[in-house]
């Protein structure tokens, strides 16, 4: 993803500035707002990454791009002075979010940000790596609205998505055998009973299983 003339790629680590120059992207801070049609409110750090498919959110990413200089050959680099802090506002919309909620989130994004700051629309299921890594593998997309009172039963089922642990995400699916996939990993969670069961399909790749373990570890810690 190109932000302020720099391809930040996965949102962390070494990136190219062109003409043989390199830089390192590092996150400074992340803030998240839940947006309703009439109001918006910030989420606590513990709730970052806990999204709902019927809602919209604004995610503020503060980061630096620090130029690197070669040392003792092309394979070794050292950082110059810390790069200038940059900023990007992601406007995330769930697949079941309302038109009014999306419009409100767009207005909030403009209100919170400055004209010079990047603003990026992110649709559920099409999140770029630089967005996913903001939650360090702990992004969870729940069904329904954040404020809705739900009685979904004792168990909820989540499909594991992502190829890297830092970019993993859990997506709530129907709690039924029909949701199981031979090439996927799924987490069966009961908040009432304090239990989590991690299920791996027979053809799930080792990388998928590793992402699932990281995501579930975050769930149990929260």
* CATH code of 197's domain: 3.40.20.10
Distance CA 74, CA 145 (A): 51
Determine, yes or no, domain membership for 89.
no
What is the structure's pLDDT at 38?
Answer: 76
Determine, yes or no, domain membership for 64.
no
pTM: 0.88
Full domain range(s) for residue 173: 151-221
What is the structure's pLDDT at 111?
Answer: 79
Distance CA 222, CA 56 (A): 22
Kindly report the CA angle at 32 between 27 and 36, in degrees rounded to 5?
A: 160
At which residue do the structure tokens 């309302």 appear?
98
Determine, yes or no, domain membership for 171.
yes
Determine, yes or no, domain membership for 54.
no
Determine, yes or no, domain membership for 155.
yes
Determine, yes or no, domain membership for 103.
no
* Residue 93: CB atoms within 10 Å: 20
The CA–CA distances, whole Å, from 132 to 111, 125, 163 equal: 24, 11, 11
Distance CA 174, CA 180 (A): 10
* 3-state SS class at 103: helix
Distance CA 150, CA 144 (A): 9
What is the structure's pLDDT at 80?
Answer: 56
Determine, yes or no, domain membership for 157.
yes
Overall domain count for the chain: 1
Are 21 and 32 a contacting pair, CB within 8 Å? no
Each residue's pLDDT, cut to its tens digit, for the chain (222 residues) gives 999 889 999 999 999 888 888 999 999 999 999 998 778 899 999 999 999 999 999 999 999 999 887 655 445 555 555 688 999 999 999 999 988 888 888 888 777 777 678 999 999 999 999 999 999 998 999 999 988 766 556 899 999 999 899 999 999 999 999 999 999 999 999 988 889 999 999 999 999 999 999 988 887 776
Determine, yes or no, domain membership for 169.
yes
Kindly report the CA angle at 90 between 24 and 149, in degrees rounded to 5?
A: 130
């Amino acid at each position: 993803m190109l932000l302020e003339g720099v391809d930040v790629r996965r949102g962390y680590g070494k990136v190219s500035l062109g003409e043989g120059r390199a830089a390192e992207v590092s996150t400074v801070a992340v803030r998240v707002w839940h947006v309703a049609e009439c109001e918006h409110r910030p989420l606590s750090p513990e709730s970052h990454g806990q999204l709902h498919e019927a809602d919209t959110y604004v995610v503020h990413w503060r980061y630096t791009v620090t130029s690197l200089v070669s040392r003792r050959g092309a394979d070794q680099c050292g950082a110059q002075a810390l790069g200038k802090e940059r900023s990007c506002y992601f406007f995330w919309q769930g697949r079941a979010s309302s038109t009014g909620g999306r419009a409100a989130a767009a207005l909030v994004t403009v209100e919170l940000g400055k004209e010079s700051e990047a603003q990026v629309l992110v649709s559920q299921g099409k999140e770029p790596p630089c967005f996913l890594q903001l939650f360090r593998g702990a992004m969870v997309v729940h069904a329904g609205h954040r404020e809705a009172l739900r009685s979904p039963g004792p168990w909820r089922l989540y499909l594991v998505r992502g190829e890297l642990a830092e970019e993993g995400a859990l997506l709530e699916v129907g709690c039924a055998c029909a949701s199981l996939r031979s090439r996927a990993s799924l987490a069966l969670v009961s908040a009432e009973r304090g239990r989590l069961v991690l299920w791996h399909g027979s053809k799930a790749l080792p990388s998928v299983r590793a992402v699932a373990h990281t995501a579930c570890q975050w769930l149990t810690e929260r």
